[in-house]
């Protein structure tokens, strides 16, 4: 009752208007149901740079929770060709994470690369494209594209180039990188098999002071076998990986696409 005569009508007495009344704290037991704009659609990607080629790979499964949405949903995209069929493209982008963001990111980068080609009369270099991709990702720093991107191509000297990204645009050029659901399974395998980590020459020193095995560039055939082995392993141990393996081999002669079956369980 006393509230009626309070000198602070905004808080207690009959309110002057609904617009003016300050928000009081939420009523007891109120729950806020907020829309979550992100999901994880699973899957895994992989890229390895060779001396004069780059191999990109990804599985083709699309999941949501325990369900398989699609058994054929590619994660690898040719970028920056003259036409929609990307026949003369020289760069490949792989995206994994939230599929809708991944597709939006791919279409942004492709449109930018096409504009570059139109304006300058030459295709974008991987180095320039890599920097631009970082900028695109960072532009959405506070509502990020939830996608782990890897960009592959050949650099100015014709050597294989792989650039890997986090969702907000940090990037570096690497020899190899695995991304997505099974990245933690594949990456250590790659460290050992591509960069020869933890491989020592027997009897080359006292105790643990052994000489490291010398690194050498892998041949295309060796890399293809590595990719297949990496994915066969990931399929066994990760439920979000499987169905199909999509591989793209980038050489000076163009991009070759290979599709292979994986376990569909």
Partner 1 sequence: MDHRPQAWGRPRDDIYGAYDASYLQTSGPKTATQSPVVTGTSVIAIKFKDGIVMAADNLASYGSLARFTDVKRLRTFLDTSVVGFGGDVSDMQFLDRHLKELAIDEAYEHNDDQQQQDDDDSHHKSTPGTALNAANLHKYLQKLMYRRRNDFDPLWNQILVGGLDAARKPFLASVDLRGTAFTSPSLATGFGAALAQPIMRRYAATDEDAARLTREQAVDVVKECMKVLFYRDARSLDRYSIAVVTKDGVELSEDEQLERQSWAFAERIRGYGTQTV
Q: Which residues bind partner 1 (CB under 8 A)?
A: 1, 3-4, 12-19, 21, 23-24, 26-27, 32-35, 37-39, 41, 62, 64, 67, 69-73, 98-100, 103-104, 143
**Taking the complex as a whole, how short is the minimal distance between the CB of residue 202 and partner 1, in angstroms?**
49
**Taking the complex as a whole, how short is the minimal distance between the CB of residue 253 and partner 1, in angstroms?**
28
- Of 100 and 210, the one with the shorter C-beta distance to partner 1 is 100
- Of 30 and 209, the one with the shorter C-beta distance to partner 1 is 30
Residue with tokens 């279409």: 107
- Of 33 and 120, the one with the shorter C-beta distance to partner 1 is 33
**Taking the complex as a whole, how short is the minimal distance between the CB of residue 26 and partner 1, in angstroms?**
8
- Of 84 and 209, the one with the shorter C-beta distance to partner 1 is 84
Instruction: Report the DSSP beta bridge partners of residue 48.
Output: 55, 176
- Of 98 and 231, the one with the shorter C-beta distance to partner 1 is 98
**Taking the complex as a whole, how short is the minimal distance between the CB of residue 124 and partner 1, in angstroms?**
25
**Taking the complex as a whole, how short is the minimal distance between the CB of residue 33 and partner 1, in angstroms?**
5
Crossing angle of helices 99-120 and 126-139, rounded to 10°: 130
């Amino acid at each position: 009752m006393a509230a009626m005569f309070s000198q602070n009508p905004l808080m207690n007495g009959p309110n002057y208007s609904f617009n003016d009344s300050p928000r009081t704290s939420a009523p007891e037991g109120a729950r806020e149901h907020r829309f979550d704009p992100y999901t994880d659609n699973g899957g895994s990607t992989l890229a390895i740079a060779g001396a004069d080629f780059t191999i990109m790979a990804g599985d083709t499964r699309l999941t949501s929770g325990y369900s398989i949405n699609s058994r054929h949903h590619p994660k690898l995209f040719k970028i920056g060709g003259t036409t929609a069929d990307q026949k003369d493209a020289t760069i490949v982008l792989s995206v994994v994470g939230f599929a809708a963001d991944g597709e939006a990111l791919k279409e942004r980068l492709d449109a930018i690369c096409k504009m570059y080609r139109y304006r300058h009369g030459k295709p974008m270099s991987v180095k320039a494209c890599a920097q631009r991709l970082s900028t695109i990702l960072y532009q959405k720093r506070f509502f990020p594209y939830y996608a782990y991107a890897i960009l592959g191509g050949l650099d100015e000297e014709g050597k294989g180039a792989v650039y890997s990204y986090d969702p907000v645009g940090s990037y570096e050029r690497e020899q190899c990188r695995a991304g997505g659901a099974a990245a933690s399974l594949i990456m250590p395998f790659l460290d050992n098999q591509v960069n020869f980590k933890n491989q020592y020459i027997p009897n080359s020193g006292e105790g643990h002071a052994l000489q490291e095995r010398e690194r050498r560039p892998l041949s295309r055939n060796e890399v293809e076998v590595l990719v297949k082995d990496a994915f066969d392993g990931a399929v066994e141990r990760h439920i979000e990986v499987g169905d199909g393996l999509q591989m793209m081999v980038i050489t000076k002669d163009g991009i070759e696409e290979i599709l292979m079956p994986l376990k569909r369980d």
